[in-house]
Amino acid sequence: EVQLVESGGGLVHSGGSLRLSCATSGFSFDDYAIGWFRQAPGKEREGVSSISGLDDRTFYADSVTGRFTISTDSAKNTVYLQMNNLKPEDTAVYYCAAHKWFELDESDYIDPYEYDIWGQGTQVTVSS
């Protein structure tokens, strides 16, 4: 069974850091892109970052570039999102998702509508 399980969310003050984890199972990471997405109350889901299982290329939304870093562990079972210098506007439910990389164009990597396997989400709240 293909499964994604997020963890690591929580409450942090503005300027603080969190590391989210996405544990994957039931598929080969080498065939997929794994992305992080977020949805704030009343807003559409948006792309944050993604990594390609083909060549570990990474992609970031402009709003998080320089603050967030996506990575995988050596076994490629877990994808991390290190979030530094968090801002109140980063408050959202964060989801990881997967899609076969060979079905994605480069512009699709942080488009949530291109992903079809989703985790349950983890809440991140940044207080001012």
Instruction: Give residue 74's pLDDT.
Output: 75
Q: What's the average model confidence in pLDDT over 93-118? A: 94
**Range with lowest mean pLDDT among 25-29, 41-45, 55-59:** 25-29
Residue (of 110, 128, 118) closest to 2 by Cα position: 118
Estimate to the nearest angstrom the gap between the alpha carbon of 29 and the chain centroid.
14
Q: Determine the Cα–Cα distance for residues 72 and 62; give it in Å rounded to an integer.
A: 21
Instruction: Give residue 15's pLDDT.
Output: 98
Over 90: is that where the pLDDT of 14 sits? yes
Over 80: is that where the pLDDT of 90 sits? yes
Q: What burial letters (b/e) apply to 70-104, b meaning 16+ CB within 10 Å?
A: bebeeebebbbbebeebeeebbbbbbbbbbebeeb
On whether the CB atoms of residues 41 and 115 are closer than 8 A, the answer is: no
Under the banding of pLDDT at 50, 70 and 90, the label for residue 38 is very high
- How many beta carbons lie within 10 A of that of residue 115, not counting itself? 25
Q: What's the average model confidence in pLDDT over 95-106? A: 93
Over 90: is that where the pLDDT of 49 sits? yes
